[in-house]
């Protein structure tokens, strides 16, 4: 082997380490997602919604899903979120329309973000192995894993999209960056704001030159309006001579245009062209009623739970070793989402265990890279110099210092890199402690979905799959929320809520009952009174039952059925 070959092999080793870490994350998160599925921890909200949206598209109803139809009258998930990126997933889902495909795709997308983060770190730090550690800090972060373990959500696509866009812009590969930005716009409507913040970040290094140009313009204003106009045009031309500024201004403008275009399609175009919802006796809700309530979500509740919001953001910083605080300018990338969470009174935006922490994690991971660089260059050396001065100080002076300071100067390693490695190790331990990998957090709060799992497999899942297979294809079926994913690929499947209330636009009634009714006894409280009465009066017959599942017995009722009951799995008791 030549020296060049050996050097090439050495360069490949850190990248191989990142790939292995990403594969490990994807494997763990996918395995835990399947475990949640088999433990009935998923539901119509939100796994069933995506299953049905992708399946219905194959039958001529673009991204139709019953969950949002029952609530808002929307005839497509695209009226809730203009997530046209789902069409890129459609061919894969068509081959195997199962939750397994969705979970695998989601875990892989989340894991792949480690690659651009590593490349950013290598570019900023100039060395590969610290970049490997920072990419690993992203992969082990509790905000990422808890978001990943809440069913299936498009927010898990954002880490790859935003980090890849940042890397391309850093490398001045603008055409590739714009292509990534366009895909990101089609993922979820918050992305144009995140991309706009990224553009502002890359424009900020020119702020000093902008200030001097403005001062020059003010001096020229004494020459009159015409002279000021000429000076303004000349300054703009001079400022835009820089290639990065031109592309970045274009990216900022593209973000504005992209957001407006998405909303126009969502609120104006789609309501005019979408086909009617299957089986629905209702007319669609007007776009002005659904779009503004679903799309904007601004409540102005700045004073609501300020302590909880502050604790959430402090926790996120702590889980990255507080390194992002050393790069405040990079935190501009986080500002749109931070502002959104602060003004909202909804606790899900600022609670670990929901999908929304995936929106926050990428700017923090990027800021941690820059914060690491700053700590290595300035902060840690200053601390070590101060501790060195303490070591050289007279004994009488040292004895007057606090005990923790005296011990710290003896225990800290002399290398800034070793100090920061210790910070990353402690942050990794903190993420493992607060995240769902900690065995103490198994179902610690079943209301927070990212933690709603047990490591010991439970039985009943395969039996309910077999039970749901008794329902004919495209038969009208109503299911309780926790077992809706078993029938979600049925175009005519509808879900009850997870609370005793009835969905406002449930397309069934005493005069038009569903042909099939799939119920988990744990959510028996959600059954409408009229349907319970019809079951009690033997208008329905029990077609099949699975007695042993984590959600109690699961019953399949059929309208006007008088035959025997199929008992699938072990008998009761």
Per-residue confidence at 478, pLDDT binned at 50, 70, 90? very high
Secondary structure (H, E, C), 242-270: CHHHHHHHHHHHHHHHHHHHHHHHHHHHH
CB neighbour class for 333 (10 Å; exposed up to 12, middle 13-18, buried from 19): buried
Q: Tens digit of pLDDT for each residue in 482-503?
A: 999 999 999 999 999 999 999 9
Q: Is residue 187's pLDDT more than 60? A: yes
pLDDT value of residue 6:
47
pLDDT of residue 402: 57
Average pLDDT, the chain: 88
Question: pLDDT tens for residues 310-358?
Answer: 999 999 999 999 999 999 999 999 999 999 999 988 889 999 999 999 9
Res. 225 pLDDT band, cuts 50 70 90:
low
CB contact set of 517 (below 8 Å; sequence gap of 6+): 477, 478, 479, 531, 535, 540, 555, 556, 557, 558, 559
For a pLDDT cut of 90, what percent of the chain falls above it?
71
Mean pLDDT of 178-193: 97
- Quickly state the pLDDT bin for 227 (edges 50, 70, 90): low
The residue whose two tokens read 């809730």 is 80
For the segment 118-128, the average pLDDT, to the nearest whole number, is 97
pLDDT, mean of residues 142-168? 98
Per-residue pLDDT tens for 524-556?
999 999 999 999 999 999 999 999 999 999 999
Q: Is the pLDDT of residue 285 over 90?
A: no
Mean pLDDT over 278-288 rounds to 52
- Quick one: pLDDT band at residue 214, thresholds 50, 70, 90? low
Per-residue confidence band for 287, with pLDDT thresholds at 50, 70 and 90: very low
Q: Which of 99-103, 432-436, 452-456 has the lowest mean pLDDT?
A: 452-456
Work out the number of other CB atoms within 10 angstroms of the CB of residue 439: 8
HSE-CB at 389 with a 13 A cutoff on CA atoms is 6
Can you give the pTM of this predicted structure?
0.90
User: Average pLDDT, stretch 354-364?
Assistant: 97
């Amino acid at each position: 082997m030549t020296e060049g070959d050996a050097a090439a092999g050495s360069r490949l080793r850190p990248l191989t380490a990142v790939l292995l870490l990403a594969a490990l994350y994807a494997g763990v998160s996918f395995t835990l997602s399947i475990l949640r599925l088999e433990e009935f921890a998923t539901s119509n909200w939100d796994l069933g919604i995506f299953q049905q949206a992708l399946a219905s598209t194959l039958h001529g109803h673009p991204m139709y899903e019953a969950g949002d139809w029952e609530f808002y009258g929307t005839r497509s998930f695209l009226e809730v979120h203009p997530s046209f990126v789902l069409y890129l997933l459609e061919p894969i889902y068509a081959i195997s329309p199962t939750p397994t495909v969705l979970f695998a795709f989601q875990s892989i997308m989340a894991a792949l973000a480690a690659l651009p983060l590593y490349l950013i770190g290598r570019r900023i730090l100039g060395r590969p192995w610290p970049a490997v550690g920072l990419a690993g800090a992203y992969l082990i972060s509790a905000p990422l894993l808890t978001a990943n373990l809440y069913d299936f959500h498009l927010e898990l696509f954002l880490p790859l999209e935003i980090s890849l866009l940042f890397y391309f812009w850093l490398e001045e590969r603008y055409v590739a960056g714009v292509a990534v930005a366009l895909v990101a716009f089609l993922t979820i409507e918050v992305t144009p704001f995140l991309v706009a913040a990224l553009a502002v970040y890359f424009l900020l290094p020119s702020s000093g030159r902008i200030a001097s140009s403005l001062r020059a313009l003010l001096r020229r204003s004494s020459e009159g309006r015409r002279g000021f106009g000429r000076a303004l045009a000349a300054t703009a031309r001079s400022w835009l001579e820089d290639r990065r500024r031109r592309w970045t201004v274009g990216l900022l403008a593209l973000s504005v245009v992209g957001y407006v275009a998405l909303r126009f399609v969502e609120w104006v175009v789609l309501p005019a062209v979408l086909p009617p919802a299957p089986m629905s006796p209702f007319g669609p809700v007007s776009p002005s009623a659904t779009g503004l309530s679903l799309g904007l979500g601004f409540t102005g509740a700045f004073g609501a739970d300020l302590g909880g919001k502050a604790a959430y953001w402090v926790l996120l910083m702590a889980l990255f070793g507080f390194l992002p605080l050393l790069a405040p300018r990079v935190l501009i990338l986080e500002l749109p989402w931070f502002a959104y969470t602060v003004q909202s009174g909804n606790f899900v935006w600022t609670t670990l265990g929901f999908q929304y922490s995936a929106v926050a994690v990428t700017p923090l991971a990027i800021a941690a890279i820059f914060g690491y660089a700053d700590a290595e260059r300035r902060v840690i050396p200053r601390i070590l110099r101060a501790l060195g001065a303490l070591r050289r100080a007279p004994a009488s002076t040292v004895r007057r210092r606090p005990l923790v300071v005296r011990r710290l100067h003896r225990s800290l390693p002399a290398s800034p890199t070793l100090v920061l490695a210790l910070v990353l190790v402690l942050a990794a331990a903190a993420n493992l402690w607060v995240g769902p990998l900690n065995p103490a957090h198994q179902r610690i709060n079943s209301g927070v979905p990212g933690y709603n799992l047990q490591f010991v497999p439970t039985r009943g899942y395969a039996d309910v799959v077999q039970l749901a297979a008794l329902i004919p294809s495209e038969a009208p079926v109503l299911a309780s929320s926790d077992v809706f994913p078993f029938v979600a690929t049925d175009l005519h499947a509808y879900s009850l809520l997870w609370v005793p209330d009835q969905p406002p636009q449930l397309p069934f009634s005493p005069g038009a009952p569903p042909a099939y009714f799939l119920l988990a006894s744990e959510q028996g409280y959600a059954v409408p009174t009229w349907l319970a009465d019809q079951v009690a009066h033997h208008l329905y017959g029990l077609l099949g039952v699975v007695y042993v599942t984590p959600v109690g017995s699961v019953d399949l009722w059929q309208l006007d059925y008088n035959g025997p009951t199929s008992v699938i799995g072990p008998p009761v008791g």
